[in-house]
């Protein structure tokens, strides 16, 4: 699977083409060899980030999918989703795609580099996840648990803040409800 997406280069805001593709060992190695040092240096390391375990989940279980954003052969974003076991908290008994892991490369984060190398990686991954939810018949429903410093990002992307979840180390649960698409011509 691969899908072309468009991002903005931070230095001049020009549009560049990148690709969302299936997660591979190369992407996990990029994370370990290029991301971890910068994330640690800038105190941006996120909890529960054992990507090798997530890569094994993706390769062993049909309900887990992993994706990476590549630009000029560099890993710029990562995403791991679960597609069959989670239900909506907004619309009970309706399935959704659950995001287990979503991240943008360190140089795409303003707290590390301003302006960032690329803008729009996280937004593109969220949109991709909503599209995947549509493909699965889940009407665009997507859920995730957020670290406190990412809360504003999800608020700004129109996700519903459903509050702190005691079962998930007090992380905030966010969800996109069903996506109401406009009919063509209307």
- pLDDT (tens digit, 9 = 90+) per residue, 37-73? 888 888 876 654 666 777 788 889 999 999 999 999 9
Instruction: List Cβ neighbours of 139 (8 Å cut-off, separation of 6 or more).
Output: 94, 133, 178, 179
Mean pLDDT (the chain) is: 90
Average pLDDT over residues 132-146: 96
Ordered by where they begin, the domains of the chain are 2-176 (3.40.630.30)
Dump the DSSP string for 140-155: T-EEEEE-GGGHHHHH
- CA separation for the pair 156, 54 (Å, rounded): 27
The predicted-structure confidence for 92-130, as pLDDT tens digits, reads as follows 889 999 999 999 999 999 989 999 999 999 999 999 999
């Amino acid at each position: 699977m691969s899908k072309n997406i468009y991002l903005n280069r931070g230095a001049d805001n020009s549009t560049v083409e990148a690709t969302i593709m299936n997660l591979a060992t190369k992407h996990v190695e990029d994370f370990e060899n290029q991301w971890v040092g910068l994330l640690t240096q800038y105190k941006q390391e996120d909890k529960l980030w054992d990507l090798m375990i997530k890569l094994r989940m993706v390769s062993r279980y049909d309900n887990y999918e992993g994706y990476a954003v590549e630009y000029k052969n560099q890993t710029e974003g990562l995403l791991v989703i679960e597609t069959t076991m989670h239900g909506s908290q907004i619309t009970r008994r309706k399935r959704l795609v659950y995001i287990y892991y979503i991240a943008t490369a360190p140089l795409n984060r303003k707290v590390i580099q301003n302006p960032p190398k690329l803008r729009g990686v996280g937004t593109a991954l969220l949109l991709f996840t909503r599209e995947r939810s549509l493909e699965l018949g889940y009407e665009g429903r997507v859920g995730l648990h957020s670290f406190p410093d990412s809360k504003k990002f999800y608020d700004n992307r129109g996700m519903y803040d459903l509050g702190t979840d005691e079962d998930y180390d007090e992380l905030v649960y966010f969800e996109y409800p069903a996506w109401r698409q406009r009919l063509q011509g209307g």
